[in-house]
Structure 1
């Protein structure tokens, strides 16, 4: 039975008049250190989270033509996503119903026919997953091809991004799985953007460590010096105005070190802070001023809207202490053709490399036999929400 859908942690809660301070008011314990390196804990993460939630796999544009396919591995599970001959996207376990052979051996490509044929014994399936041909000279009594379709995987498209859910009785949609406090990206033309650059990197850290790093900025002044100059509130170790226990003293001060947003004169995340092409039409003044608008879907992705491009980051766990990160920079087609994007890519890559490096440092210290768990500081309120989300997902899976 599918456990109830639990909402991801709120990443940037809106402060109310009654409780305007975001920070924790008492010390909270982290997850146990073994949650980041123990093989049994890793398997529980897969079973309770990665095999039950909506996961980003690619963009629709990656499967633009009929018969195009890609394969994806999540834990021990391999999925093939394809566009059938009618243009419909479908996903299946990459497993033959005969004796379990892998079907598609390449990571991506285009099927040679309107069939998926097993390379082992040539069972063939339609692109809708139905078994249509068995080359055996005779069939057993009672054998019905209709009883042996491919194992279907739930698929959902959100704004041009393709998600799958491995749960056998998956419910809901990719859109419903986004953090309800995520920023609204409706003014960004996500569906029509094209890829300008892709960064793939294997980080030697548990997937949860990356999300913990994402959910706080205490590390920003020491780890992200250039980013902290671009986003001055990050240089104070804060993510937003109400992270400061004395925020009321500066409530009327709209300087970026108190209100958030980019430094004066900056427009976007780039090495010089300037947009290097036309900005998106239709963005509000508040979206321009913010400099970055985040939308998050745990456990696999976040996406950031900037005024002149969009950046997506996808995570896949490779083991208890390894995580693959795939970042993609997306631009309007005409802007990409006319824009020198190196200034943008260099800056974004620097930030991600800094994050990856410090996450690996974090991972290296966790195996101390004396370190059973850590303690959270007030600014790490979103880590506490994330930890509770992980605990709740594990509890729901019992």
Structure 2
């Protein structure tokens, strides 16, 4: 392989123009339903931290599309998940978003069918039961649940066999050196964005917008100020191959340690990090469709998405710190910077959503730097294609 060919092989950018998803993918209720059926109802979805349901009999209710999922910690300390639906006539079981049960039972507020926290039907208040009626035939509809390093995931596909760990995005970097299980919440930020959930992920997967949208972030991460995410996004990267300045190599500006308004860490740094992880200042792990995690030297940040409709998405960001650092030092300095970035992202995502309504715009085109966005589009198309045979078979 010639030097020029080797350099070209390392270049990340798209070689050919690729069309975006069609505008209908972000606007049409039928397309939104396809996303729910093919992705949100078949993939692991992060719903909370295990600490959010810490005590026995504590519960929380989460909505994924049209589906309500009840997560409860049983009397033995195990987490379980069920559809929030009574087996009698389909009533909602728990009406509050969170709370603590008064007894070791889930009792329907409509007709008082009662279930153990393992989901077994244990009591029916009817004066008599029909011939052939067996309580064992009417357990709650269970939902797959998995705890991964302090995070709780659920999966509405009861036939699935994959694990949370197996389904992290291929571009994710390991967060093994961060003590995720032990961290506690220092701040939570929630915002409803008027955009399709895919638009947020598209924005996440490119930095062409960074110089114009994220002024302060581009100063902290100089390569972002060039509209690039990594060294090999530049078609001319080889000219600067030996230059370790952050505008070419990535990472934080000289002297900066973490994502904060002043670039400084405001508490003890995690002890187990490698020199490369400290130098990077930001290490990303992505789990589509619902969340990503960012490891910094002194805290961890998570961003989770919940689809609310074709053009509405709930964003929840959380800042996690070592328990001995509560309340965290410099919390406003850290959170203020991260919130500004998220507010800027939300604003341009909504801008993107509004513009898609024009009747003449059927689809857009991707630029070379948007290679990860193209990969995301291929993932979405692949999820839809994987569902198609089962849908056809069901008919």
TM-score, normalization by structure 1: 0.95
Q: 2:347 aligns with which of 316, 337, 357?
A: 357
Deviation (angstroms), 1:338: 5.4
Could you say which residue in structure 2 is the equivalent of 1:250? 240
Distance in 2 of aligned mates of 1:348 and 1:20: 31
Distance in 2 of aligned mates of 1:338 and 1:118: 41
Could you say which residue in structure 1 is the equivalent of 2:146? 156
Deviation (angstroms), 1:24: 0.1
Per-residue CA distance 1:194-242 (angstroms, 9 max, x = gap) = 1000001000000000000000000000000000000000000000000
Are residues 1:288 and 2:292 paired?
A: no
Per-residue CA distance 1:321-362 (angstroms, 9 max, x = gap) = 000000000001112335131100000000000000000000
Are residues 1:82 and 2:81 paired?
A: no
Per-residue CA distance 1:20-43 (angstroms, 9 max, x = gap) = 000000100000001001110000
Could you say which residue in structure 2 is the equivalent of 1:388? 378
Deviation (angstroms), 1:127: 0.1
Deviation (angstroms), 1:174: 1.2
Are residues 1:277 and 2:255 paired?
A: no
Aligned-residue CA RMSD in angstroms?
1.1
Could you say which residue in structure 1 is the equivalent of 2:57? 67
Question: SS at 1:191's partner residue?
Answer: helix
Are residues 1:38 and 2:38 paired?
A: no
* Contact 2:42-2:155 at 8 Å conserved across structures: yes
Distance in 2 of aligned mates of 1:281 and 1:168: 40
Deviation (angstroms), 1:170: 2.2
Q: 2:159 aligns with which of 169, 172, 175?
A: 169
Per-residue CA distance 1:93-148 (angstroms, 9 max, x = gap) = 00000000000000000011000000000000000000000000000000000000
Question: SS at 2:72's partner residue?
Answer: strand
Per-residue CA distance 1:142-163 (angstroms, 9 max, x = gap) = 0000000000000011110000
Deviation (angstroms), 1:18: 6.9
Distance in 1 of aligned mates of 2:320 and 2:58: 21
Could you say which residue in structure 2 is the equivalent of 1:299? 289
Distance in 1 of aligned mates of 2:11 and 2:230: 10
Q: 1:109 aligns with which of 93, 99, 102?
A: 99
Could you say which residue in structure 1 is the equivalent of 2:178? 188
TM-score, normalization by structure 2: 0.96
Q: 1:144 aligns with which of 121, 134, 145?
A: 134
Q: 2:324 aligns with which of 322, 325, 334?
A: 334
Distance in 2 of aligned mates of 1:165 and 1:309: 28
Distance in 2 of aligned mates of 1:210 and 1:181: 17
Question: Which of structure 1's runs of 4+ aligned residues deviate more than 4 A?
Answer: none
Could you say which residue in structure 1 is the equivalent of 2:393? none
Question: SS at 1:72's partner residue?
Answer: strand
Are residues 1:260 and 2:250 paired?
A: yes
Q: 1:23 aligns with which of 13, 25, 31?
A: 13
Question: SS at 2:166's partner residue?
Answer: helix
Question: SS at 1:150's partner residue?
Answer: coil
Distance in 2 of aligned mates of 1:238 and 1:155: 37
Distance in 2 of aligned mates of 1:344 and 1:87: 34
Query: How many corresponding residue pairs?
Result: 384
- Structure 1 gaps, min length 5: 1-15
Q: 2:358 aligns with which of 360, 368, 371?
A: 368
- Structure 2 gaps, min length 5: 1-5, 389-395
Question: SS at 2:218's partner residue?
Answer: helix
Distance in 1 of aligned mates of 2:106 and 2:251: 50
Question: SS at 1:19's partner residue?
Answer: helix
Question: SS at 1:296's partner residue?
Answer: strand
Distance in 2 of aligned mates of 1:106 and 1:395: 37
